[in-house]
């Protein structure tokens, strides 16, 4: 009996030690009141989001702010072994069309240290020549369970017709964040529209995030982050910078999550949720921290 008990305890420790932190980015395509009231869609979203310790949601369209509250409330009920919180951006957009970025995270695993809404150019509030259609929303997290303790996420949903310009300008955003928070452990993630007709081989050469070898593109150009069978485009990306951050990535963990196949949905059913797949990556756990807390 003592041997069996010891094996059980060791097994628990091994499970904890081998665990990692999963970070996701998901363009939920016009997430608002309609989807929040659709039980079937919300059921699928619960299964998708509960796989993630931290998820950047894009295309939140609800002006009342109730859809995300409902989503996080349902997520806490669906996965009662964890506790979820969220931090949201301003409503962003040049004219009447507005979106928000929302980071949903397990507050029993992560802490928000700071957040920062990248500003519009002064005096250019609703100008078509703004740097970004939707300015990046940037959050600094503290994660005691991972090898990299503090890191910054830069969330971005580019305008398709200006995708290459906006992707290049994220280099300037990174430089500003480095000066502001004195850390280069940064992850840039979201629907960058970084594929198919929105990018060109010639254009990539001018994009600083691509030409600077210090930035690692974890989702490759040959990946497919779209739900429709007729498309194959790597729109959604995860890009990492910083020695600690890069060394903390679990090899092979960066990939789209094909919820259509995993949950045995038809294309029509999947498209009710989104026309994008989430992209995800895992950070290595701090074995010493987990073992110390397990014991």
Active site residues: 99, 157
3-class state of residue 58 by DSSP? strand
How far is it, in rounded angstroms, from Cα 240 to Cα 284? 14
H or E segment and range at residue 262: helix 259-262
For residue 110, give both structure tokens.
Answer: 């992560």
The torsion angles phi and psi of 5, rounded to 5 degrees, stand at -65, -40
Instruction: Kindly report the number of other CB atoms within 10 A of residue 249's CB atom.
Output: 22
CB 277 within 8 A of CB 259: yes
Order across the sheet with 150-155: list the strands: 111-117, 137-142, 150-155, 186-191, 236-241, 215-217
């Amino acid at each position: 009996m003592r041997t069996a008990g010891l094996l059980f305890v060791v097994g628990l420790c091994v499970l904890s030690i081998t665990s990692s932190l999963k970070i996701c980015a998901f363009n939920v395509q016009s997430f608002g009141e309609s989807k929040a009231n659709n039980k079937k869609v919300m059921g699928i979203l619960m299964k998708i989001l509960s796989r993630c310790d931290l998820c950047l949601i894009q295309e939140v369209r609800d002006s009342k702010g109730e859809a995300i509250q409902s989503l996080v409330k349902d997520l806490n009920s669906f996965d009662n072994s964890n506790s979820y919180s969220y931090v949201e951006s301003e409503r962003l957009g040049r004219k009447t069309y507005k979106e928000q970025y929302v980071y949903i995270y397990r507050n029993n695993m992560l802490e928000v240290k700071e957040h920062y809404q990248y500003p519009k150019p002064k005096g250019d509030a609703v100008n078509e020549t703004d740097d970004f259609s939707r300015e990046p929303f940037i959050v600094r997290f503290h994660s005691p369970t991972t090898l990299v303790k503090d890191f910054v996420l830069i969330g971005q949903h580019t305008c398709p017709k200006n995708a290459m310009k906006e992707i290049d300008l994220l280099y300037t955003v990174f430089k500003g964040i480095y000066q502001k928070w004195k850390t280069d452990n940064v992850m840039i993630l979201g629907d960058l529209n970084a594929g198919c007709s929105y990018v060109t081989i010639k254009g990539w050469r001018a994009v600083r995030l691509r030409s600077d070898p210090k930035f690692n593109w974890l989702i490759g150009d040959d990946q497919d982050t779209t739900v429709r069978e007729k498309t194959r485009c790597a729109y959604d990306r995860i890009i990492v910078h910083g020695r600690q951050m890069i060394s903390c990535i679990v090899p092979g963990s960066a990939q789209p999550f094909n919820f259509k196949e995993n949950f045995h949905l038809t294309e029509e059913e999947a498209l009710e949720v989104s026309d994008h797949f989430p992209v995800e990556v895992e950070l290595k756990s701090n074995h010493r921290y987990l073992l110390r807390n397990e014991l």
